[in-house]
Amino acid sequence: MSSHGGIVWITGLPASGKNTLAAAIGHELASRSVPFEIIDSGKLRETLLGNTLGFTREERDTNCRRNAFVASLLAKNGVVAIVSSVSPYRSTRDALRQEMDGFVEVWVSTPKDVCVDWDPKGLWAKALAGEIRQFTGVDDPYEAPLSPEVEADLSQEAPGEAAIRVVNILEESGAIAVQTQEAEPLPAGFQTAD
């Protein structure tokens, strides 16, 4: 099954389930033999592409643009790039949408209190206690998308179900080929006309 590539931009509060959803989308694409790559913005910050960046608005925008650059290269080569990034500023995401072909915005709208409970690194607790500054959702804003292609509250919807909705959007937009149903095997002894 061929793919023309596309960009799935997953945004949401820290610990909202973005990486979990990215993995579920990847699983769904793999089951359809669609090439994909997951770009975890947090991990990208640990590489030469992002390890000099802090968390000012300008540095967050730069981080988003670096994610977008890598995603665009992948998409141009027939790969579905799945970007998992807080990307808190609406204007930045809207600008990327205008600049990038095949951009599908996915908002993981899991409520803040659930994110605090889910946080595996305890960063929310540290930020709420004032131990971490410039934390999105505490002392830095998160601007929710106004009209994302998909919204998923992962405290109410299974990641696999949300992933199928995202993949359906990729099919509808032509970013990936539409999956066709496999032909049912003929019953034993059934003869076809020649």
Cα angle vertex 109, ends 176, 174, to 5°?
Answer: 10
What is the pairing mode between strands 103-108 and 36-40?
A: unpaired
Candidates 87, 109, 155, 173; catalytic one? 87
* 109 is an active site residue: no
Q: What pLDDT does residue 192 have? A: 40
Q: Report which residue type is found at 142.
A: Y
Tokens of 29: 């694409």
Contact 22, 10 (CB under 8 A): yes
What three-state secondary structure class fits 140? strand
Can you give the pLDDT of all 194 residues of the chain as single tens digits?
345 689 999 999 999 999 999 999 999 999 999 999 999 876 665 655 555 566 677 888 888 888 899 999 999 999 999 999 999 999 999 999 999 888 999 999 999 999 999 998 898 999 999 998 888 889 889 999 999 999 999 999 999 999 999 999 999 988 888 876 554 454 555 444 43
Q: How many CB atoms lie within 10 A of CB 111?
A: 13
Q: What pLDDT does residue 40 have? A: 87
Q: What pLDDT does residue 184 have? A: 47
Locus of tokens 């059934």: 190
Task: Spell out the alpha helix ranges (H) of 32-186.
Answer: 41-44, 57-76, 90-99, 112-118, 123-128, 159-173
Separation CA 159–CA 174 (nearest Å): 23
Tokens of 108: 């993981």
Contact 76, 35 (CB under 8 A): no
Q: What pLDDT does residue 59 have? A: 84
Q: What pLDDT does residue 116 have? A: 95
- Structural domains in the chain, sorted by start: 6-111+141-173 (3.40.50.300)
Strand order in the sheet with 103-108: 36-40, 80-84, 6-12, 103-108, 150-152
Locus of tokens 């998992």: 84
Locus of tokens 């359809």: 32
